[in-house]
Amino acid sequence: MPRLREGLHVDVADGLVVARRAPGAAGHTMREIEWQIAQLLNGKRTDADIIRDAALAGLPINGAMLRSFMRELNAYGLLIGYDKDAVVEADEEPADVAWFVGQATILAQRGQIDAARHYLQAALEAAPETTLARSMLIALADKEDTALPTRQPSLLPAPRSTENLEVVDAEALEVADHQSHIDAIAAEQEASEMHAATKHRRKRTKIVMASVTAMTAVCAIIPWTYDIRAQIEVLPNESREISAFRAGEVRSLLVTQGSEVTAGDILVKLDPRELENQRAELLAELQKQQAELDRLRNGSRLFELKRAREEVKLRRAKLAFVSREYARKREGRDIVAAGEVERA
């Protein structure tokens, strides 16, 4: 049992805090108790702690302050035992009722709902008009015991002396010690489950990482074939311009862009009608000169005959040239020179 300052005894067991004055010890001021309990609870305090400290230290408080203190119990998670003789009689709640309600609160917070109901019933018997005990009974109506079976604490009357307080406090501490053992077992089991779950997660993480590493290594070793599809345009390194020996109108185009050609292939055909007209004119002129020659042979002068023969010879040579040109046009041999085709 730790001792804070002179005459103040504080018991702590798994959230159960019991403070009382030693017999004959001098009282403490509210500021002293506030500082001492703050040290005990690691400095975690609120405004309601002042009321709680007063009850723990046995300082006089009235029923209204006690009710405010009871409403704050759930926020602290602490089980409080206090000296009933330090509670001042008040119009709202008698001192006995406040003590019974305090013990019921201790048991209810430990999950011993049935035992808490016994103390609340005792508070109603002591003061049937009390509202605090009645409201707590209503709140506990739908609740069941959540603590493991333990020795049922006996319903003691409100203590009138320090000796009776020691018995009640010892019984509350025994309940707290038992619950502390249960909480320790549950905490150990929960820690074991958490350790197993963590171990499982780590194992699963290692498996996933090993799989990813293996897949990365396989991808780095095995060659992959990539099929890339895109629209392209093939252009020659060199380009050549070709032309015909004679100008003319194109009748047909026998190749397209990108076609493969060899020497002697016909690329385009020109319209031969112009050459055909020239040939017809030359034939007509030849017939005319032939008629003139026949006329001269039939009685013309010798020099006229000679001139006519030369004229006929010239016309025949021209006719032969035009005929050859016409033949080449028809065969398409005059379209592209062989050397130009090879260079193209």
Tell me the mean pLDDT in the region 57-70.
48
| DSSP letters for 124-186 | HHH-TT-SHHHHHHHHTTT----SPP-PPPP-PPPP-SHHHHHHHHHHHHHHHHHHHHHHHHH
**Residue in this structure with the two tokens 């690691």, named with its chain if needed:** 42
**What is the layout of strands, in order, in the sheet containing 8-13?**
3-4, 8-13, 16-21, 79-81
Cβ atoms of 54 and 33 within 8 Å: the answer is yes
What is the pLDDT, as a whole number, of residue 60? 46
Beta carbons within 8 Å of 61's beta carbon, 6+ residues apart: 51, 54, 55, 69, 86, 87, 88
For residue range 181-225, what is the model confidence (pLDDT) as tens digits?
555 566 666 767 777 777 777 888 888 888 888 877 777 777 767
133-175 pLDDT tens trace: 777 777 777 776 554 444 444 444 443 343 444 444 444 444 4
Tens of pLDDT, residue by residue over 84-137, are: 443 333 333 444 566 677 777 777 777 778 888 887 888 788 777 766 677 777
Per cent of the chain over pLDDT 70 is 48
Taking the model in full, what pTM does it have?
0.24
